[in-house]
Amino acid sequence: MANEKELVPLTEPLVKSIYTADPSAHVFDGKIYIYPSHDIDAGIPEDDFGGHFGMEDYRVLSMNTPEDKEATLHDVALHVKDVPWAERQMWAPDAAYKNGTYYLYFPAKAKNGAFYIGVATSKNPAGPFKAQPEAIKGSFSIDPCSFVDDDGKAYLYFGGIWGGQLQRWQTGKFIEDVKSPYDLEPADDQPALCGKVARLTDDMLEFDEKPSDVVILDENGKPLRAGDHDRRYFEAPWMHKYNGKYYFSYSTGDTHNICYAIGDNPYGPFTYKGILLNPVIGWTNHHSVCEFKGKWYIFYHDSTLSGGRTHLRCVKVAEIKYRPDGTIEPVTAYK
C-alpha cells in the first residue's frame, strides 16, 4: 500500500460528529440502517489484546439512499451499563428483523475477561434496544453477523482471533491464562482457525444448534492454512446472497484485506475467490455488503477522520460491481 500521507480518499465519512467503525448495513422499511461500533478515546494505552478499543455504547445511522452525503445519527441504542452480563468493550454489532421485531447482536467482555455475544430487541430499527439478561448460551468471541435466508431461517456468524479470543476456545472452554494474543494459534502448515456459524432459534434469541466451523477452501479444494495470512480468516465475517450463491466475506487481519469466498449453502464450505476491499488507512478493516434498489454497496471504515489513529475510525460506503461469472471487482478506497 502506498504511503498513507499520499492517499486521497474517494469517499467521505458518513458522520463526522463521532467516530464510527465496523458498519453492518441493512435495508429496513425502504431505508438503509447502519449498525456500527462507536469509537471513543477511552484513554487506555494500546496493547496487543485490543484493550484500547474501549467502546461503551451503540449509535445507529440511517440513510435514505447510499448517495446521501451524510447519514442521520440516532440517539444511543444500547449502553454497556444496561447489559446485565457485560462489563466493557462493546465491539462490532449487527442487526436483523423478523416477525415485527428488530434484533441487535453484539459482543462484549464479561467480568471474567471473556467475550460473549448478546442480543437486544426493539420495535424500532434505530432503537433503543433492551438487552436480554444473559449472553447467548454457547456463544463466544466477537463480530456477530446475522443472516436471514430466503426460507426464513436465520443464522449467526461470528469469531475473531487474537484480541477476539477465537484461539482461546479451541478446547470448548475459555483459556484464561495467556501471555500474548498470538498464543495458541495453529502452526503455519496447519489448517487456519475458522469463523463460526450457528442457526438461530425461531425467536432469534438463542442458538438452535452447536456452532460449527466456516471452512474456506483454496483453489484445490483444501482448507486454507494458518500461514496463508493474505487469505486466511481473521475476523469480521459477513454473509450475503447473490444469484443463488452464498458469499462469505471477512477480514484477513494482519494483512488488512477484505476477502470473499463463495458456497452453495449457509454452512459452506466456501471457496476462496479474491479480495473484495483492499487495505484502508488504519490497522483494522471491517465491512458489510448491502443491496439497495438493484445496486450493491460495501460499507467499510478507515481512520482518515482522526488522521490515522487506529481506534478512532469513520464509516464510509462505495458501490461494488459483479463480473458476469459472479466474482467481484476489488474496491480501492483511495486514488
Query: What is the full DSSP assignment across 33-71?
Result: EEEEEEE----PPP-TT-TT----EEEEEEESSTT-SSP
* Whether 235 is catalytic: yes
In this structure, what C-alpha cell is assigned to residue 208?
438452535
Q: Does the pLDDT at position 100 exceed 90?
A: yes
* Whether 22 is catalytic: yes
What would the pLDDT profile of 247-299 be if each residue is shown by its tens digit? 999 999 999 999 999 999 999 999 999 999 999 999 999 999 999 999 999 99
Do 139 and 158 meet the contact criterion of CB atoms below 8 Å apart? yes
How far is CA 281 from each of CA 61, 186, 256, rounded to the nearest angstrom? 22, 28, 10
Environment class of 211 (CB within 10 Å of its CB; exposed 0-12, middle 13-18, buried 19+): buried
What CA–CA distance (Å, rounded) separates 225 from 231?
9
What would the pLDDT profile of 103-120 be if each residue is shown by its tens digit? 999 999 999 999 999 999
> Could you check whether the bond before residue 269 is cis, i.e. omega within 30 degrees of 0?
yes
The single residue of 22, 39, 143, 185 carrying the catalytic annotation is 22
What CA–CA distance (Å, rounded) separates 208 from 119?
15
At 255, give phi and psi (nearest 5°).
Answer: -105, 0
At residue 166, what is the residue type?
Answer: L
Q: Does the pLDDT at position 306 exceed 70?
A: yes
pTM above threshold 0.95? yes
User: What are the domain boundaries of the chain?
Assistant: 4-320
The single residue of 94, 185, 235, 302 carrying the catalytic annotation is 235
- Domain 4-320: assigned CATH number: 2.115.10.20
Q: Would strands 235-242 and 245-251 be described as parallel, antiparallel, or unpaired?
A: antiparallel
In this structure, what C-alpha cell is assigned to residue 249?
466475506
In this structure, what C-alpha cell is assigned to residue 254?
494482519
